[in-house]
Amino acid sequence: MSSERPFLPPSPAPADGPADPHRRRLLQAAAALPGLALAGAAPPAFAAASPTVVARTRAGRVRGVRERGVHVFRGIRYGADTAPLRFQPPRAPSPWAGVAAALEPGASAPQRGEDGDEDCLFLNVWTPALRDGGRRPVLAYFHGGGYDTGAGSDPLYDGTRLCLRGDVVVVTVNHRLNAFGYLYLCQFGDARYAASGNAGQLDLVLALQWVRDNIAGFGGDAGNVTVFGQSGGGAKIATLMAMPAARGLFHRAWTMSGQQVTAAGPRAATQRARRFLAAAGIDPASADAIARLRALPRRTLVEATAVHDFSRVEDARLYFGPVMDGETLPRHPFWPDAPAQSAAIPMVVGNTRDETRAFLGNDPRNFALGWDDLAARLEKQQYVDIRADLVVAEYRRLYPHYTPSEVFFAATTAGRSWRGAVEELEARARQPGGAAPTWAYRLDWGSPLEGGRLRAFHTLDIPLVFDNVRQPGSRTGDGVQAQALADAMSGAVLAFARGGDPNHAGIPRWEPYSLPRRQTLLFDVPAVQADDPRGAERRFWQQAPFLQRGTS
């Protein structure tokens, strides 16, 4: 009998665990066609499988494949099944015998629009070589989707080209999301649930501990780990920078359109938990609320996340995110200052020039606005609490050539997407002498697809940083300019991972962000550095205090 088997160790549910049998996905022992595996989906099998390779982890051996000159391991277990640990900190996996198949991505967390599975603590590894003592820089990517959706197996996160281009090891991670990872139940249960509001963050800590303990066998250097992530992934990184449990597990941080200045306070998080319990059909005042919650099928919990949040945004679903619980997250990530525990970590903070065209550009009405209806539209979407008519007047003064729709997208980008980046950059710049440098970028180059109407939208920098402009879903096109931007941005992240400085020969000199100059590299064709771009907009929005949406 072959010693190779799908890795699914038994995990008995506790007495108050889910009542329905927990579905487990069998990992298929078949290689994936390069670049075609969708997040959470089984890849197509084919007769002539790629050559397989075996690596050793502390828990047991894993079998991957060799594709396009890179060793690829998909779906390595870094944590035990979380169903028996619902709302509790994760645990390391039990050791296994034989060889576990790591040939397809592991399950993603339960989330809307996808079934998912609570047995979701899996990661993927791309490496040029195994057990060669190479001590390569490690790039660990945390996916976006807020704290609500996503998976580390999206084709855009394929690490092959970064491996080949920079001789690095790339890791992508799945972890618990939404209510499974960020529902704060401290007021409803015993000490087992004290960290429930940050369980998803603790999953990421466990993944980084796995990197520390195992990456040498995959040709990587555990002493040189760069975490990078976009949108929610960047916010998760900012939060880790203030979590004592994450201290020393990573050495550089690159965030893309994702910031976490403030976390939810325990009162607001408890209010949201009460609303969630009621939506799930449970009386929050009942003595057995948690036991009943743990007995519900995961799909019921996912459906309950759709309850309306009490934020000002009329279409907002219930917010889930990290909680300043006094222990796992003892302070706000970047307020009132940058976290001292991460002062020695070099950091890159970036955003795109037209962020909100990604999620507000799907409504045709936003491209046909008139001056008379602009303020009312802004009132619902700008987040920062400044009179919308004053916002319109200021943008008309600054940019008299803008149409109402251009004002709408510019103001919403600055008021809800860019403001957090400014807060983090300035907090880092104010840290006492001896702190590591921080670099700022803005992606100005716009996608040529769809007639260019979305410009430099939120997520556009993902395929550029990964050098994956030809992957499904990149939305960059595969023209000369797209590849030039990919060369520049992937080259910067590789230089940063190798030496803690993103400068390389393919871009102009990129100076660290400092006050009062606020140096920022504008990625375009060609790239240029500018001092305090959009400075007038920055000063306008800073007249109101910044509170991250959902954290109050």
Q: What are 529-538's pLDDT values in tens digits?
A: 999 999 999 9
Give per-residue pLDDT as tens, 86-131. 999 999 999 999 999 999 999 999 999 988 999 999 999 999 999 9
Q: What CA–CA distance (Å, rounded) separates 75 from 124?
A: 6
| CB-based contacts of 300-305 (< 8 A; 24+ apart in sequence) | 301/110, 301/179, 301/180, 302/110, 302/111, 302/112, 302/116, 302/178, 302/179, 304/179, 304/276, 304/279, 304/280, 305/112, 305/148, 305/178, 305/179, 305/276
CA distance 263 to 324: 6
Structure tokens at 121: 């603590």
In angstroms, rounded to a whole number, what is the distance separating the alpha carbons of residues 164 and 205? 27
CA–CA dist 177, 108 (Å, integer): 9
pLDDT at 115: 83
The CA-based angle 127-509-350, given to 5 degrees, is 60
pLDDT at 161 (0 to 100): 98
CB 94 within 8 A of CB 25: no
pLDDT number for residue 547? 84
| pLDDT score for 8 | 37
The C-alpha atoms of residue 112 and residue 115 are separated, in whole angstroms, by: 7
Structure tokens that stand for 277 in this block: 């319990």
Q: Which of 116-130, 286-300, 308-322, 398-412 has the lowest mean pLDDT?
A: 308-322
Report the distance separating Cα 410 and Cα 395, nearest Å: 8
Residue 481, both tokens: 């300019």
* DSSP state for residue 137 in the 8-state scheme: E
Other residues' Cβ atoms within 10 Å of the Cβ of residue 512:
18
Note if the bond before 448 is cis, omega within 30 degrees: no
Q: 6-20, 79-93, 293-307: lowest mean pLDDT where? A: 6-20
Taking the C-alpha atoms of residue 494 and residue 496, their distance in angstroms, rounded to an integer, is: 5
pLDDT of residue 143: 98
Which of 35-49, 114-128, 214-228, 398-412 has the lowest average pLDDT? Answer: 35-49
Tracing tokens 């729709």 back to the chain, one arrives at: 405
Quick check: helix, strand or coil at residue 459? coil
β-partners of residue 173 are 123, 142
CATH number of 352-541: 3.40.50.1820
Amino acid identity at 517:
R
Q: What is the pLDDT of residue 313?
A: 60
**Does 11 score more than 60 pLDDT?**
no
Domain with CATH 3.40.50.1820 in the chain: 1-7+25-345, 352-541
Residue-level pLDDT at 382: 86
Q: Which residues are catalytic?
A: 231, 355, 458
What pLDDT, on a 0 to 100 scale, did the predictor assign at position 514? 97
Region 202-231 average pLDDT? 98
3 state SS of 74: strand
Residue whose C-alpha is closest to residue 100's, from 119, 66, 129, 74: 74
Instruction: Give the helix ranges, DSSP H, for 361-448.
Output: 371-381, 388-398, 404-412, 419-429
pLDDT band, residue 13 (cuts 50/70/90): very low
Measure the CA–CA gap between 77 and 123, rounded to whole angstroms.
Answer: 7
In this prediction, residue 312 carries a pLDDT of 57
Instruction: Output DSSP code: residue 461.
Output: H
Confidence of residue 18 (pLDDT cuts 50, 70, 90): very low
pLDDT in tens, 20-37: 333 333 333 333 323 323
Residue 29's pLDDT is 30
Q: Does the pLDDT at position 1 exceed 50?
A: no
* Per-residue confidence (pLDDT) for residue 315, from 0 to 100: 65
- pLDDT exceeds 60 at position 201: yes
What is the distance in angstroms between the CA of the first residue and the CA of the last residue of the chain?
A: 58
pLDDT per residue as tens digits for the range 344-399: 999 999 999 999 999 999 999 999 999 999 999 999 898 888 999 999 999 999 99
Closest CA to 358 of 258, 490, 497, 227: 258
State the pLDDT at residue 314: 60
DSSP per position, 335-380: SSS--GGGTTS-EEEEEETTTTHHHHTT-GGGGS--HHHHHHHHHH
pLDDT in tens, 460-506: 999 999 999 999 999 999 999 999 999 999 999 999 999 999 999 99
What's the pTM value of the predicted model, to 2 decimals? Answer: 0.91
Would you say domain 1-7+25-345 falls under CATH 3.40.50.970?
no
Residue 552's pLDDT is: 73
DSSP 466: T
pLDDT band at 457 (very low <50, low <70, confident <90, very high): very high
Q: What is the pLDDT of residues 411-437, one digit of tens each?
A: 999 988 899 999 999 999 999 988 999
- Give me 440's structure tokens: 């700022």
Q: What is the rounded average pLDDT of the residues 447-467?
A: 97
The total of other beta-carbon atoms located within 10 Å of residue 423's CB is: 21
